[in-house]
Amino acid sequence: MTDQTPVIEIRNLHKAYGALEVLKGVSLSAPKGHVISLIGSSGSGKSTLLRCCNLLEDSQQGELIFNGEPVTWKGTTHNRRPADAKQVLRIRTNLSMVFQQFNLWAHMTILQNVMEAPLTVLRRDRAEVEKSARAYLDKVGIGDKSDVFPAQLSGGQQQRAAIARALCMEPEALLFDEPTSALDPELEQEVIKVIKDLAAEGRTMMIVTHDMNLAADVSDHVVFLHQGLIEEQGAPEQLFGAPKSERLRGFLSPGHVS
């Protein structure tokens, strides 16, 4: 691996659910330290692409390459599965996912939620993990909430806890699937601030978002998906300032509802 090797590289990825083709040959890469935003209407394949990237979904064709290491597969088309369970675990621990609905364990405190995966998956030292977890909770602005349970927090606080949990795995890249869409507008801003701070630190991120301001502010590269294909991609100032595709212009128009 060199400094030029992308952290994530996707080549000609296809994904179908039965006869429904969701991804029809998507290729993109996320270089180290870059933020890639995926935008598009509901059903365009954005979240599916992210889930295939993290091997939460099996794709039927195409390559997934992490730090220069291709995923090994067995079987073909709808029977295709990753061939190496250890490789899957290694990739998943290096691509921490932040979900739309937080996915925190209700019976654990916020600190326990953040510590759980580094302890059970990575088998790291408990004292070291606790120190790291508390530092990340401080980083996202909820260090004072470490001993409370998720139900006692606002949605914005829960999502910040989920980001701290992702960071505590010390991943190579962060994957965000609509991180603000379940939040009220005022709580959304808390989470957007954290994401902007992470982008400013030079973390590698892929973000599926409906928030065009967020995509414009934090991205190095924006990808507009339409019906399972990349319709247009480029720097945010190009896509938002001078979109070439009629579909993208329609998507960005004020009256459009995604």
Is the pLDDT confidence value at 255 over 70? no
Q: Dump pLDDT digits (tens) for 78-98.
A: 999 999 999 999 999 999 999
- Average pLDDT over every residue of 154-174: 96
User: In whole angstroms, what is the distance from residue 19 CA to residue 68 CA?
Assistant: 32
Domains of the chain (ranges; CATH) run 8-103+173-252 (3.40.50.300)
pLDDT of residue 109: 98
In this prediction the pTM is 0.93
Q: Is residue 70 classed as helix, strand or coil in its secondary structure? A: strand
pLDDT of residue 237: 96
Of 54, 51, 53, the closest CA to residue 27 belongs to: 53
User: In whole angstroms, what is the distance from residue 65 CA to residue 61 CA?
Assistant: 13
- Residue 206 pLDDT grade (very low, low, confident, very high; cuts 50, 70, 90): very high
Per DSSP bridges, beta strands 8-17 and 61-66 are antiparallel
Is the pLDDT confidence value at 1 over 80? no
Is the pLDDT confidence value at 257 over 80? no
Residue identified by tokens 């209700």 is 106
Residues 174 and 166 sit within 8 Å (Cβ to Cβ): yes
- Residue 29 pLDDT grade (very low, low, confident, very high; cuts 50, 70, 90): very high
